[in-house]
Amino acid sequence: MTDMIIAVDGLVKSYKDVQAVRDISFSVRKGEMFGFVGPDGAGKTTVIRILCGLVMPNEGEISILDFDLKINRQEIQKKIGYLSQKFSLYGDLTVDENIEFFAEIHNVRNYHSRREELLEFTRLTPFRDRLADKLSGGMKQKLALACSLIHKPAIIFLDEPTTGVDPVSRRDFWKILAKLLKEEITIIMSTPYLDEAERCHRVALFNNGKIIALDSPDTLKKGTGMSVLEIVSFQARKGYSVINSKTSHSVQLFGDRINVMLPLDTDPQTILNILRDDNIIIEDSRLTSPNLENVFIYNIQGKTK
């Protein structure tokens, strides 16, 4: 994975007074799974729509498959697949008919063998005569993916493909994506799920229209130079306030758990003592490595409170 298949430089996009994308740059390698991670409104979908040629940027240079997006938009669109958050399947058409329809849109003439392959690939063969409206949420997403792949794209863009899908279907969907990677199809996806982001080769953490960090999940986690002190307490909210007011550490609250980002040379006992001095009851505590959620919040907080 050394060949750059997408290069973005200085991308800016505004909608009236709202700057959705703020001067971002990144590149994607051939055969890579590249993830966009961030909250709603962070700019992830806007960037995907720009890369698909559906929205034009205000500023920036974009090269996809060695084509300039501004000049060769239609040529690029022939070579990519796109699965949006609200992919438009036709509910009154069967699974077979939906795939046939998208094959015709992409001018795929002899699509029958490709359709059989995709039905087997997505495990939809037993449901090929079922109307799309009668499919479960997970099966609809798999059908949408099959429609996106009918013309054998070099790159596929997936905008939160598993949102609202049950856990079993999410697992099946990821098995399909793993097979696509073996075929050296490049995957660009946005996801709100940090466990999904962990599966990507590299991730870009988005916030407020900017990329605040970009690297492999492992490198991002190690790059903080931090460990996480996880504290369990039924007084977690009060404990969070105490640590936040009496230290400069990044503190994160997850239900009955407090996560404190600590430099590797910091003795965690000092934090536990602060809580005990304020009569906070500690039910359990452990020192662990940061996960992507810790890293994301840590970067948003500017690394100190």
pLDDT at 214: 96
Residue 138 lies in a domain: yes
pTM reported for the whole predicted model: 0.85
Q: Which is nearest to 4 in space by CA: 25, 18, 21, 19?
A: 25
Question: 125 and 38, same structural domain?
Answer: yes
pLDDT digits (tens, 9 = 90+) for 19-33: 999 999 999 999 999
Question: 230 and 192, same structural domain?
Answer: no
Q: What is the DSSP letter of 218?
A: H
Question: 151 and 244, same structural domain?
Answer: no
Distance between CA 185 and CA 152 in Å, rounded? Answer: 9
CATH number at residue 236: 3.30.70.270
pLDDT digits (tens, 9 = 90+) for 43-86: 999 999 999 999 999 999 999 999 999 999 999 999 999 988 77
pLDDT at 231: 97
Residue type at 169 in one-letter notation: S
Q: Residue 61: helix, strand or coil by DSSP?
A: strand
Q: Point out the least confidently predicted range of 186-200, 208-222, 274-288.
A: 186-200
pLDDT at 87: 67
Asked whether 99 and 150 are in contact (CB, 8 A), the reply is yes
Rounded-to-5 percentages of helix, strand, coil across the chain:
35, 30, 35
Last residue of a domain, one of 182, 215, 248: 215
Residue 132 lies in a domain: yes
Residue 305 has pLDDT above 60, yes or no: no
Share of the chain above pLDDT 70, in %: 98
Question: 211 and 112, same structural domain?
Answer: yes
Residue 21 lies in a domain: yes
Question: 211 and 264, same structural domain?
Answer: no
pLDDT digits (tens, 9 = 90+) for 96-138: 999 999 998 888 888 898 999 899 888 899 999 999 999 988 8
Residue 42 lies in a domain: yes
Number of domains composing the chain: 2
CATH number at residue 110: 3.40.50.300
Residue 2 has pLDDT above 80, yes or no: no
Residue 179 has pLDDT above 90, yes or no: no
Residue 13 has pLDDT above 60, yes or no: yes
Q: Residue 215: helix, strand or coil by DSSP?
A: strand
Question: 122 and 252, same structural domain?
Answer: no
Residue 103 lies in a domain: yes
Residue 197 has pLDDT above 50, yes or no: yes
Residue 175 lies in a domain: yes
Comparing 216 with 40, which gets the higher pLDDT? 216
Name the residue with tokens 């230290």: 247
Distance between CA 288 and CA 161 in Å, rounded? Answer: 31
Domain hosting 183: range is: 4-215
Question: 107 and 33, same structural domain?
Answer: yes
Residue 297 has pLDDT above 90, yes or no: no
Q: What is the DSSP letter of 178?
A: H
Question: 228 and 169, same structural domain?
Answer: no
Q: How far apart are the first and last CA of the chain?
A: 38
Q: Which is nearest to 22 in space by CA: 12, 30, 31?
A: 12
Question: 252 and 192, same structural domain?
Answer: no
Q: What's phi and psi for 110, nearest 5 deg?
A: -95, 75
Share of the chain above pLDDT 90, in %: 67
Last residue of a domain, one of 170, 198, 215: 215
pLDDT band at 3 (very low <50, low <70, confident <90, very high): confident
Question: 107 and 58, same structural domain?
Answer: yes
Distance between CA 197 and CA 17 in Å, rounded? Answer: 31
pLDDT digits (tens, 9 = 90+) for 34-48: 999 988 889 999 999
pLDDT digits (tens, 9 = 90+) for 263-272: 999 999 999 9
Last residue of a domain, one of 159, 190, 215: 215
pLDDT digits (tens, 9 = 90+) for 219-254: 999 988 999 999 999 999 999 999 999 999 999 999
Residue 86 lies in a domain: yes
267: part of which helix (H) or strand (E)?
none
Distance between CA 81 and CA 154 in Å, rounded? Answer: 8
Q: Which is nearest to 155 in space by CA: 52, 53, 22, 60?
A: 52
Residue 67 lies in a domain: yes
pLDDT at 1: 43
Across the chain, mean pLDDT equals 91
pLDDT band at 192 (very low <50, low <70, confident <90, very high): confident
